[in-house]
Structure 1
Amino acid sequence: MNKIIFFLPYLDMEKVVMRTFVEQNQSDTEWQLETILKLGTQQLDKVTIQGDVVIARGGTYRKLKKCLHTAPVTELLISGYDIMRTVLACKKKFNTNRIAFLGTRSMVYGAQNISQIIPVQVIAKEVYEENETRNSLIALQNQGIDTMIGGVTSTRIAAELGMNALRIDSGQEAIYQAIAEAKQMFKIYQQERERTEIFRTILDYTSDGIVAINTDNRILLINHEASNITGISSQVTGRRIETVLPQIKLQNTLGKRQPAFNEIIQLNDQDITMNSIPMQVENQPIGAIATFQPILKVQNLGNEIRRKKSKRGHVAKFTFDDILGNSVSIRQTIHLAKQYSKTDANILITGETGTGKELFAQSIHNASNRFREPFVALNCAVLSENLLESELFGYVEGAFTDARKGGKSGLFEAAHNGTLFLDEISEISPRMQGILLRVLQEHEIMRVGDDRIIPVNVRIIVATNRKLLQMSQNGEFRLDLYYRLDTLHLMLPPLRERNQDVLIIFCHFLKVIYNKKGIIWKGMTYEAEKCLLAERWPGNIRELYNIAERVAVFTKGEKLDVDDLNVALRGRGDFSPIPAQKITEGIEEHISDIDDRTLRAALEQTHYHYGKTAVLLGISRTTLWRRLRCLKNNT
Structure 2
Amino acid sequence: MNVLCISPYQSMHISVQQIYNTYAEQYPNIHVYFEKLDRHEGITALTDMLNERHYDMVISRGGTSALIRQISKIRVVDIGISQYDILSIIQASSRIDKIALVGFPEITVPFQKIADRFQKSVPVYSVQNDTDLNGTLKAIKDSGFNTVIGDTSVENMAEQFNLNTIFITSGEETIKTALLNSFSILEEISASNDQKQIFIHLLNEFNQFFAVFNPDNSLYLKSDGFITDNDLWERFQSTINKGMTNFNYNNSYFKIDTKKYNDKTIYDLRREKIWNDTKSNDFAQLLMDDDKSTQISNLYHTIYDDGFFNKLEAYAQDETNVVILGEKGMSKKYLSNMISKYSNYKNNVPVLLNLSSEKSFNSAMNDDKSILYESGKVCVLDKFNNLPYKIQRNFLNFIDETGFTSRNKIIFIFEQKLSDGIDKNLEGLIANSHLITLKPLRDVIGNSISKLITIIINDYAKHNAKMVTGISDLALDFLLNQSWDNNLVEFIKVINSSLASTESAQVGVKDIQSAEKEYKELKYLYSHDHKASYSPINNYDSTESKTLHEITREAVTNVLFKNSGNKTKTAKELEISRATLWRYLKEDN
- Bin of the TM-score, shorter chain as denominator length: 0.3 to 0.5
Higher-Rg structure is 1
- Specify which structure has the bigger relative contact order, considering alpha-carbon pairs within 8 angstroms and separated by 6 or more residues: 2
TM-score, normalised by the number of residues in structure 2? 0.37
